[in-house]
């Protein structure tokens, strides 16, 4: 090893779900939305003034922040935007988790949290979910350097009541509490109304799931003006033009189409609820997910085998070989037709060798 390597900041990177090059797969592995973005987004792209790309985008991202502020019922100075919520969360870790005390998050959760903590040298401790994968709110009381959890949690899909979320925030007045609401629109209660009451609460959301725009990379955070100012100072110290002109315009347009958003979200929720029933009828145990994915295990079939068999059949789902969840599959809710193909395959697979 060269001496220079001793001083390299080394990280074990987060492993994103596979993005297969083949187009002919049924892709239920990265919690993308199976429906297209709002129709206005296409209109923006078709009419986009390419000449405008000569110019830098608005560093303040004012149009997008104004639209989000209106949609969230807050002031524009309470909104921060970034390149997907991963970017927003990374900035928030760097800005707010700067204590000697460990930050805390669940043992089973979004696997990017420990990666940022290690990258930024933030001490952390995990708190175990209970035997049924619920967050135990009391575990987040007491001294710490900050708190973060998703609601609904990933990959379990389980949501916490707003009262419990508020309880965690109320019990942690001396640190910043981040609620990662990547999946909140599919059935959990948002903590947005609490930002007026708690100066130290940051709520993070994304366009990647409920707004069908994972490829555009837009995420945002809502909090007190003070919290947002601190975040912006850190962000502008990295790169002041993080949002492209295209993303700003498309994002602004997407937020304005509330009706389309509600319609596609409700289709996904319906498909999810029928999927729970169908998979349970096949013998799967299935958490009561409030997200756009299901988290399932089968008492007679190893999840890893199922994952590989599904992949062979061109149906991609997500498998995590981590403790406690290594016999589970996370299946993104697709269109009804995609889910039908999944059910047909599973039925055949589970009944192999059984006489009919």
Select from 38-46, 79-87, 100-108, 170-178 the region that touches ligand PMP (CB under 6 A).
79-87
Nearer Cβ to ligand PMP, position 140 or 345? Answer: 140
Segment lying near ligand PMP (by CB under 6 A), choices 81-89, 130-138, 242-250, 307-315? 81-89
State the nearest-atom distance from the C-beta of 150 to ligand PMP, in Å: 4
Pairwise CA distance, residues 9 & 116, whole Å = 12
Helix ranges (DSSP H) in the chain: 39-46, 62-72, 84-96, 112-119, 162-170, 225-236, 245-256, 258-281, 303-312, 336-350
Residue 74 CA to residue 220 CA, distance in Å, equals: 13
**Is residue 208 a contact residue for ligand PMP (CB under 6 A)?**
yes
The residue from 206, 252, 289, 332 that contacts ligand PMP (CB under 6 A) is 206
Q: Which of residues 131-160 bind ligand PMP (CB under 6 A)?
A: 150, 154
CB of 309 to ligand PMP, least distance (A): 25
Residue number, 206 or 271, with CB nearest to ligand PMP: 206
Q: Cα separation of 147 and 169, whole Å?
A: 9
- Cα angle: 159, vertex 164, 170; to 5 degrees: 135
Quote the least distance from Cβ 84 to ligand PMP, whole Å.
Answer: 3
Which x/- pattern over 86-105 shows residues binding ligand PMP (rule: CB under 6 A)? x-------------------
Q: Applying CB under 6 A, which part among 80-88, 133-141, 221-229, 231-239 lies near ligand PMP? A: 80-88
Residue closest to 202 by CA, chosen among 251, 168, 236 = 168
Select the residue whose beta carbon is closest to ligand PMP and give its number. 84
141 Ramachandran zone, left/alpha/beta (phi>0; psi -120 to 50): beta
Under DSSP, is residue 27 helix (H, G, I), strand (E, B) or coil? strand
User: Does residue 191 interact with ligand PMP by CB under 6 A?
Assistant: no
Cβ neighbourhood burial of 164 (10 Å; 0-12, 13-18, 19+) = middle
| Interface map 107-126 toward ligand PMP (x if CB under 6 A) | ---x----------------
Distance of CA 215 to CAs 30, 57, 184, Å?
A: 12, 19, 19
Task: Report the residue from 71, 115, 214, 246 that binds ligand PMP according to the rule CB under 6 A.
Answer: 214
- Range in contact with ligand PMP (rule: CB under 6 A) among 41-49, 78-86, 167-175, 255-263: 78-86
How far, in Å, CA of 307 to CA of 96, rounded?
A: 38
Binding site for ligand PMP (CB under 6 A): 84-86, 110, 150, 154, 180, 182, 206, 208, 214, 219
């Amino acid at each position: 090893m060269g001496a220079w390597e001793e001083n390299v900041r080394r990280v074990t990177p987060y492993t994103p779900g596979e993005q297969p090059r083949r187009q002919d797969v049924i892709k239920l592995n990265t919690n993308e939305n199976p429906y297209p973005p709002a129709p206005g987004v296409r209109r923006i792209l078709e009419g986009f003034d390419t000449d405008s790309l000569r110019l830098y985008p608005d560093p303040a991202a004012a149009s997008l922040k104004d639209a989000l502020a209106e949609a969230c019922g807050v002031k524009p100075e309470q909104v921060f935007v970034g390149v997907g919520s991963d970017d927003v969360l990374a900035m928030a870790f760097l800005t707010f988790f700067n204590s000697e005390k460990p930050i805390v998050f669940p043992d089973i959760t979004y696997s990017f949290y420990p990666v940022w903590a290690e990258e930024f040298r933030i001490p952390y401790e995990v708190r175990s979910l209970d035997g049924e994968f619920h967050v135990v709110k009391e575990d987040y009381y007491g001294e710490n350097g900050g708190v973060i959890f998703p609601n609904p949690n990933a990959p379990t899909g389980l949501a916490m009541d707003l009262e419990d979320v508020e309880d965690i925030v109320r019990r942690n007045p001396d640190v910043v509490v981040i609620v990662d609401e990547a999946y909140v629109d599919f059935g959990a209660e948002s903590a947005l109304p609490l930002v007026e009451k708690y100066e130290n609460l940051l709520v993070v959301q994304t366009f990647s799931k409920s707004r069908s725009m994972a490829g555009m990379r837009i995420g945002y955070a809502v909090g007190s003006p003070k919290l947002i100012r601190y975040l912006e100072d850190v962000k502008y110290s990295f790169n002041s033009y993080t949002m492209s002109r295209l993303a700003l315009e498309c994002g602004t347009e997407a937020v304005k189409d509330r009706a389309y958003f509600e319609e596609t979200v409700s289709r996904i929720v319906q498909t999810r609820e029928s999927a729970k029933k169908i998979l349970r009828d096949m013998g799967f145990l299935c958490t009561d997910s409030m997200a756009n994915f299901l988290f399932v295990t089968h008492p007679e079939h190893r999840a890893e085998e199922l994952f590989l068999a599904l992949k062979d059949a061109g149906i991609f789902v997500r498998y995590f070989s981590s403790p406690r969840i290594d016999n589970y599959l996370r299946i993104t809710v697709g269109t009804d037709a995609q889910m039908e193909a999944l059910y047909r395959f599973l039925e055949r697979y589970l009944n192999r060798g059984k006489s009919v």
